[in-house]
Structure formats: C-alpha cells, structure tokens
Structure 1
Amino acid sequence: MLRWPFLVACLGLALAQSPRWSGAPDYFAVPGSPTPAGSRLDRSYVLSFPAQGAPKGTLIMVPGFLGGATNFEALARRLVLAAPGWTVWAWDRRANGLEDRQGFALPDPWAYYQDYRLPDFPFLKEWGLRVHLEDLEQLVEQARREGPVVLAGHSLGASLAALFALYRGERLDGLILLDGAPRLLAVDPRAYLEGAQGPFGRLPGLNDLLSGRTPPYVAAFGLGPAALAQAEAQAFMAGLAPEADAPPGWAPFRSSRLAAALYRVDERYSLLPIFSVSAGQAVAREGLSLLGLALGRLVYTIRGPRGGRVEWRDTGEATDPLEFVRLYANPITGFSEWFFPYRLALDIAAFEVVLPDLRPRRLPYPVLALGAGRGLLPRNEDFASARAFFPETPLEVNILEGLTHLDLLTNRHGAAIGPIRNYLEGLHRAHP
C-alpha cells in the first residue's frame, strides 16, 4: 500500500530544484583592448546577476571553449541567493559582439539561421591571448570599484582565468577552476607556428591563420558559427513551446521540439562529452551508435517510434531539461560563442611562446578547484598543473561525482553552489 506514495516522494526529491533568483539580469558592454577592429567591436560584455543583500564583491565567470554567458545562468541564479552579497558577472568575450541575433526577435529563428551567411572578419586573427587578457583586465578593474573580485573559469575558461592570475593575479581576491585547469591544451613552439597532425586531421598553426589558409574562427567537427546559431535557435524555440512538433530539419525523425533540441547534447546520445548534459531520455526506439563505440564510448542512437513521434522524459537526472533549453539562448546572448577566435585557442595552448614573461607564482589567496566525476577532470591529480602554476598556494580540490562537464554548471540541485559559497565566505572572513 505504501509503495506508490514512496516512489512518488522519491521522484519529488529527485526533481527538486535548489532556490534561484527569478529577476531579469542586466547586459552591458565593457571597453576592451584596442585592435584594428575599431572601438565599436573592441569591447566585451557582461550578463549581470545582482547581489542579494549588502554587497561583498563580484564573481566573474569565464566560459570555456565555444562558450557564452548563459553557460552560467542556471548557476548564477542559484548562487546570488546562496551567497548573499555577491554579484555574479557571466562574461561574454568580445567575439559575442559579432553575432547576428536578429533572428531571435522573429517568429521562426530556425528559418532565419538556415540561410545564415557568414561575414568576413579578418581582424579575428588578431584576437589572441594578449587581447583577451587585456579585456579581462578592464573587466576586473571595473568590478573592483565595487569591492573584491573573484575569477571563476570553466573548462578552457579555467585555463584563461589561470593565465590571468599569472598576468595580474594581484588584482584578484580569489580564483576558482571549474572542471578545467591551466594546462588543458599544450602545443610546442614549432606546432604553434606550423601546425601539427592530430588524431582527427591536421591542426593549423599561426602561419596558416595569418596567411588566410584557415578560417579565423573555429569551424571544425560540425561546430562552426552557423551550426552554433542553429542550435541556439532550436533551444530558444523549444523553450517557448517544448511539446510542439519540431520543424523539418531539426532531427532525422518526428519529434517534439524538446526531444529534437536535446538529443544531440544529452550524454546518452552525444558523441562529444565536453558538450553533453544529463537531462533525461528520449521516449523512442534506440540502437547503439557504431561511431560512439569506435570512439570508445557507449552512446545510443534514436530510431524513432513506429507510427509516432519521439518525446522527451525528465528522468530526474542532474540537469532539468526544460530549464536547460529555456536558459540556453535569448535575444541578446546565448550558450555559445559563435565566432570563437582560433587564435585564442592556439595562443592558450602555447602561452609561453606568446607571453614568455608569464611565470609560475604564489597567489595571496587560496584556489578552489571543482572537478566533474564524468567530466574532463574527474580525479584530484588532474589538477596537478594548478599546483605547478601556483606553487605554495593552498589548493582545495573537490570532485562532484556523477556530473558531466556541463552538468557542473547546469544541474538542478546546485551541486557546485555549496563549495563556491563556502569559498567566498572564507575569503570574506579573511578580508572583511
């Protein structure tokens, strides 16, 4: 007799959401490093979630490879309540200002981005590590007017945040690494200039970039600007009407908008672990992905139900599927950096060549590192490069089990909130 009430209660606990701020964040520009692009584009952007309570400081969050500001929205909405007094700034790097987001104001953004003609941005090849560190310096200085500043980077953004700590670490009051570390990528000086052969083909070098032999933005493995724009359009429309029929072209089977938007990024079906979340499961016939097996991963494909359409079921996993798609994109910014400068990724991988003055240093504050149990850095020893970068600096490593690389930011239970809140409170007690 008690079985069903017990199961319902368990499901309710599984789906429970941690409290989150429900207001509308501000979005504003911050002047950046001068380049040939001109002052209109020499700026970065902030999606700002205001402090709740007496101000204590600003947490600046740096997105990773191909990442945009709304990577952090689920986390930021929870954190401003859990850590009263801390403002959260989710950073959009300068390339986000190149995105044509007019389609999100139209009834059918998907149709708009089907014919998205990519503009030519020759100045992108100049937007490397030095430019982005100088942009970040401007951002940090603006935030410092209001109090202490803590930098938090996710994935490749953790590498960029760590390099900023080498560059201007004295301007910070704390550093957080989110499933990322200083040495995620590394290339030698020759490969930096001339390119190198990788497991999926040749990786261009700086000479290829400067000569125009390779595009100035990342455009590989189906992750170019048009594909990223279309993915945001799908998520945006799915958030508005999740149960509506997906338009033709969204998926190779009949499905709801929600199912079509999620099946490429859910960890059960995604071939790319760094872009996957645990958001439920399709209601459909499934098969094993041969490509996934070739890559050494157990990945499923969706064949679609006979005589029906594919639906999506929230199974209580880490990330809430509806919240995920509704926070993925909006008319001003989104989950992706469509025109991610190839120069930036290249420079981070060979920062000693680009900025030889950067050297390991002791920081005057502790570093917090959070790994994801099913992400990039699932073990304490994966953060060894942080110890090498910051010798004699206290490093607290906390592995959040069961989370994918993106679940760390998007999970409904706010698993990362407690460690971040405790870290911020510790900094405030040390420097009230």
Structure 2
Amino acid sequence: MTKRPARRAVLSGGLGAGLALAGAVGVGGVGSAWAVGGGGRRWGAADGGGVGEEYVPVPVGAGGGPVGSDRVHVLKVGPRDARTVVVLVPGMFGAANDFRLMARDLVARVPGTQVWAVDRREENLADRSGFARGRGADPVGYYLDGRYRALEPAAAGYVGRWGLERALDDLRCVVRAARAGGRRRVVLGGHSWGATSALAYAAWDFGGRPGYRDLVGLAVLDGGVRGAFEGTGAPVRDSPEEVRERLAAIAGGQVFDMTLSGVGLGDRAESTQIWYQLAGWYAHHDPKGRSVLQDRVPEALRVPFPVTNAALLGSFVDAGFGWPNDISVHSGHLAAAADADGVRGWVDDGITPIGRVAEAYAGPVPGVWEWYWPARLSVDLDVSDAFADTDLARSLGLRLRHAAGLDIPLYAFQTSYAKGTVVEGARRVAAEARVPYAVYESDDSMNHLDPLFAATAHNTATHTLTEFLGRVTGTARAR
C-alpha cells in the first residue's frame, strides 16, 4: 500500500515468529481487463462519506503500451469548485485508493479543498474484472485458479521504458488539469516513493520551467530524498555499477520490479497484490464470515484454527504477525476465543481498524495495489535520492535541475519506519534550497502504512497535514 516495501527488499530478515512464506498465484487463461469508460465513474455523497467522489481518466502522452494505456486515472474527493487541489502520488506498488480515507478527512477539515489521488498508467494493465461480477462474484476462483489475464514480461517490453521521465510527464498532465490554467492552487504530495516522486517533480525541468512553479506547497509522507530511507537499513542502490547492472537486466527482459515476490505469496509480479486484494475484498464484503481464503493460504502462513475473513486480513497486515514495518499497520489481534461455530474473529485495539484497511483494499476500482511496477522507475527513483543534476542523473535523462531554487513551503511526516531519516532528508532539502518555511512532524507509534488507513481520531498525519494546508492556502484550521 502504497506501501511499500518502499523499494527495499521486503523480507530482509524473515518474518519473525518463524514464518517462512510460500505459495503461488496461478496464471493462465485470458480475462477481460477491468475498464473505466471515458467519462469515468462517479459516486454520490452516500458512497463518499459525505463528500463527492469520482474516478476519471486524464489523457497523457504516448508511452508505447497497448491501446488504452496512454492515460492515467485520478480519484477526486471533495467539492469540484474547490480553490485548492491536493494531488497525492502513491508509493511503490501503491495506487489511488491508498488515499481515499485520508482524502475524506482532509476535505472535511480544510474548506475549499479537493484531493486528487493519482493512478499511474501501469494501472491500465491489471485485470480487475474478477472483482466486478455482481453478487455472484467468485474472485478467489478467478484469480487463484489462474483465469485472469496475466501480463507476461516478454510481451511488455514497453514497460522497460516507463521510468521517472514518463511518470513525471504523466503527473504534469494531472497537475496542469488541477491548476485549471492557474485558477486553482496545487499542493503536491505523496507517500513513500510517491513522496520522492513529488520532490523530483518540484526539481524537474519541464522545457525550461521548474516543476515547483506549478505548486504552492509540497507534502511528503514517510519518504523523500537526500537519505530519507537510510534509516530503514536498506539504502538506495545508486552507484554507477549497480545502475549499469540493473539497466542491463531490464534490457534483458526483466521489466517488472519483483520486490513483492519476497513476501512469498507467489513468484509473479502481481501475485502478492492479488492475494492482498482478495483478502481485503472478502473482509469488506463479509467480515464475520468464515474465511474463504484460509484453506488456500500457504501452509506456513496459515493460522492453525478457523478464522473470519476480517481476521485473515488482519493476519496479512498487522505488525503483530511479524510483518516488516513497510507493509504493516497497528490494527489489533485475533480473538482469544472462538464463536459458536468455532471460528475466531478480529479484535480492533490499534490505531488502524481492520475495517478501514478492508474498505481500501477491496477495490476493485480504484485499487490500493499496482500490479506491474516498472523496474526502470525503481532505478530512476533510487538515483533521484541525490536530488541534484549529477552526471549519473543526466545519463538517465533525469532533469533534476532546479532543487536549489525550490521556494515553496514544505511539510514532512515520518513514522517509525525510517528511524528519523525522513525528516533529516527533508531538512537537507529545505536547507539547500529557498524554502520559506517547513513543517516537520513525527509519530513513532505508527508503521509505514498507518497514515493511510488509521482511524481519523488517531491519525497524526491527517491532523498535522490539515494544519499545514490551512496555513498554505490561508483557510481556516480544522472544523
């Protein structure tokens, strides 16, 4: 979720508690990809928690992919007549629904604000049709029995060219649409590697125009540049030798980043994402029902007694099960006793109720997970950590020419994930540029994904970002 193993090896020391994950998602067959029509999808107030929501396509430049892939999508939350738009970029393997819950909280507290959460063009490649077949849907059969449309690396050579330049050109189409010719203010932000992307956008040279001139503020959540991820224990892989090796692998056909295969839920690019969305889908639609997935879960990960759908999702995402910080939340625990049918449920006693995770994970459109993360984008984002116009950056076509001129306010929030280096990196950015003021916030009680899904009352990120947005836009503080 957005999540992301944040580009690092997901299981650097195993899962703890002796868990060694195994298993696979099957492949094969041909399915029809889930598609959103040209007019997008809209939801009323009842679906949007009291605010308007819509999911719409934004045309972007040609990227060499299949028909229908030259667009990104945006989840818009809040009033259409808002004077300020907060554009949020998800992190590694993340997607627009990462931000829906946070967006609802922000627009309820900052008057005149709309939030746009971005789905990168890679989202067009995922087959989500198995989640959209009405009440008779059987997503577990569609996906785990391999009936979905899988994308093979050999048929996706174009993804090898989808690096940071492609992503930021696409993002600029979104930012320019949000600005509406200068009639609206735009604050750009992101989570994890989405934060890195937002900062790179600000420093990028768009035909002689610095990216930061499109913006009135920057908001980075648990990510960034200038050593932001060093505290994770997995520093960026940006030496010239490592970059040459990684580019050679991409040229040889390894176009997808396979980091999530380290979770052990399958060895395909999309395997882990499918498992997590399945868990969320069933937990959202039938939280107290006996788990549909439990008998299909790899034995090493399977809870040794019957559990509900909600409890199964909890075992996949809660930090108490030994999951690394970057892919976990503080939600709760399994019930100590079974119900009358011998099934144990889930007890919420953390800052992130499992129902909120399920609501986000369930999708299908927009979703929380990006199935096919480009390996080239990982290379470029690692190199962007220097946040400078270096020889290596130029050799990759990265136009990071305007970092020193950055002259807009900056907000940075960190959890326990990177042990303080997110804020340290943000301080370096501000000190080396012309940032008029910066706000640095921390909450060590949170893991990397908690800011995305935590309950409103306990979400320090939402509360402090609300105050920052109020200051940047000149609007009243939280209502």
Structure-1-length-normalised TM-score: 0.81
Structure 1: distance between partners of 2:331 and 2:71: 34
**Structure 1 contact 157–180 (Cα < 8 Å) conserved:** yes
Alignment pair present for 1:125 and 2:195: no
Q: Note closer, same or farther for the CA distance 1:97–1:389 as it changes in structure 2 (3 Å cut).
A: farther
In structure 2, the residue matched to 1:309 is 343
Which consecutive unaligned segments of at least 5 residues does structure 2 have?
1-47, 205-210, 230-235, 385-392
SS in 2 for 1:21: coil
Paired letter, 2:93: L
1:63 to 90, 95, 101: 90
Q: 2:132 aligns to what?
A: 105
Residues 69-95 of structure 1 deviation map (CA, whole Å, 9 limit, x = unaligned):
111111011111011211001111111
C-alpha deviation, 1:428, in angstroms: 1.9
Distance 1:417 1:343 in 2: 32
Please state how far the C-alpha of 1:276 moved relative to its aligned partner.
0.5
Code of the aligned partner of 1:71: D
Change (3 A) 1:133 1:76: same
Q: In 2, are the aligned partners of 1:182 and 1:389 still within 8 Å (CA)? A: no
- Distance (Å, rounded) in 2 between the aligned partners of 1:356 and 1:69: 25
Equivalence for 2:49:
21
Question: What is the distance in 1 between the residues matched to 2:431 and 2:382?
Answer: 16
* Root-mean-square deviation (Å): 2.4
What does 1:354-393 correspond to in 2, within 5 Å?
Answer: 354-355=396-397, 357-359=399-401, 360-372=403-415, 374-378=416-420, 380-387=423-430, 390-393=433-436
TM-score, normalisation: structure 2? 0.74
Distance 1:377 1:69 in 2: 26
2:262 is matched with which residue?
A: 221
Kindly state the Cα deviation for residue 215 of structure 1 after the two structures are TM-superposed. 4.2
**Deviation string, structure 1 residues 342-383 (Cα, Å, up to 9, x no partner):** 1111111124242454132232321011111x2235464353
Cα distance 1:210–1:240, how it changes in 2: closer, same or farther (>3 A)?
A: same
Conservation of the 8 A alpha-carbon contact between 1:319 and 1:407: yes
Instruction: Specify every segment of 5 or more residues in structure 1 that has no aligned partner in the other structure, as ranges.
Output: 1-19, 195-204, 286-303
Deviation, structure 1 residue 420: 1.6
Q: Is the 8 A contact 1:124 1:217 kept in 2?
A: no
Q: CA 1:102 to 1:399, structure 2 compared with 1: closer, same or farther past 3 Å?
A: same
Instruction: Please name the residue that 2:22 is paired with.
Output: none
The Cα shift of 1:100 comes to 0.6
Q: How many residues align?
A: 378
Write the deviation string for residues 67-126 of structure 1: whole angstroms up to 9, x where unpaired: 111111110111110112110011111111111111112322122110145223221111
Select 2:223's aligned residue among 175, 180, 196: 180
Cα shift at 1:237: 1.3
User: Which of 79, 88, 101 is residue 51 of structure 1 equivalent to?
Assistant: 79
Match of 1:346 among 373, 376, 379: 379
Structure 2 residue aligned with 1:88: 115
Q: CA deviation at 1:327?
A: 2.1
Task: Indicate the SS of the match to 1:403.
Answer: coil
CA distance in 1, matches of 2:308, 2:324: 23
Q: Aligned partners of 1:38 and 1:268: how far apart in 2?
A: 42
* Superimposed CA distance per residue, residues 384-408 of structure 1 (whole angstroms, 9 cap, x where no aligned partner): 4433663555322111241111111
Does residue 1:144 correspond to 2:179, yes or no?
yes
**Does the C-alpha gap of structure 1 residues 108 and 385 become closer, same or farther in structure 2, counting only changes over 3 Å?**
farther
> Over residues 136-182 of structure 1, what are the superposed CA-to-partner deviations in whole Å (9 max), with x where a residue is unaligned?
11110000005011101111111111000101111111100101112
Q: Distance in 1 between matches of 2:83 and 2:443?
A: 26
Where 2:358 maps in the other structure, the secondary structure is helix
Aligned to 2:312: 260
Secondary structure of 2:316's counterpart equals coil
The equivalent position to 2:466 in structure 1, one of 417, 421, 429, is: 421
Instruction: Give the match for residue 31 of structure 1.
Output: 59
Q: 1:377 & 1:84 partners in 2: Cα distance?
A: 34
Using the alignment, how far apart are the partners of 1:381 and 1:350 within structure 2?
18
Partner Cα distance (2:270, 2:132) in 1: 19
User: Match of 2:256, as an amino acid?
Assistant: P
Distance 1:406 1:62 in 2: 14
2:252 matched residue in structure 1: 211
User: Cα offset for 1:279?
Assistant: 0.8
Distance verdict in 2 for CA 1:361–1:39, change over 3 Å: farther
Counterparts of 1:173 and 1:23 in 2: how far apart (Å)? 24
Partner of 1:190: 241
Alignment of 1:269-284 (within 5 A): 269-284=321-336
Distance (Å, rounded) in 1 between the aligned partners of 2:168 and 2:398: 14
Contact 2:102/2:462 (8 A) holds in 1? yes
Q: Tell me the alpha carbon deviations over residues 200-240 of structure 1, each in whole angstroms, 9 at most, x when there is no partner.
A: xxxxx01111121x243435313730220121022011101
- Identity, in percent, stands at 28
Aligned pairs for 1:230-249 (under 5 A) are: 230-247=275-292, 248-249=295-296
For 1:133, the aligned partner's letter is L
Task: Output one character per residue of 1:249-298: Cα deviation in whole Å (capped at 9) or x when no partner.
Answer: 1434321111111212101114221011111111259xxxxxxxxxxxxx
Report the AA paired with residue 258 of structure 2: V
Secondary structure in 1 matching 2:130? helix
The change in CA–CA distance for 1:65 and 1:133 in structure 2 (over 3 A counts) is: same
Distance 2:185 2:119 in 1: 20
Q: Given that residues 159 and 180 in structure 1 are in contact (C-alpha distance below 8 angstroms), is that contact kept between their aligned partners in structure 2?
A: yes
- In structure 2, C-alpha distance between the alignment counterparts of 1:23 and 1:174, rounded to whole Å: 24
Within 1, Cα distance between the matches of 2:397 and 2:255?
Answer: 23
Amino acid at match of 2:170: D
2:356/2:454 contact within 8 Å kept: no
Post-superposition, which runs of at least 4 consecutive aligned residues in structure 1 deviate over 4 A? none
Q: SS at the partner of 2:404?
A: coil
Q: Distance in 2 between matches of 1:228 and 1:389?
A: 38
Q: Partners of 1:208 and 1:110 in 2: how far apart? A: 33
State the SS of the aligned residue for 1:97. Answer: helix
Whichever residue aligns with residue 151 of structure 2, its letter is P
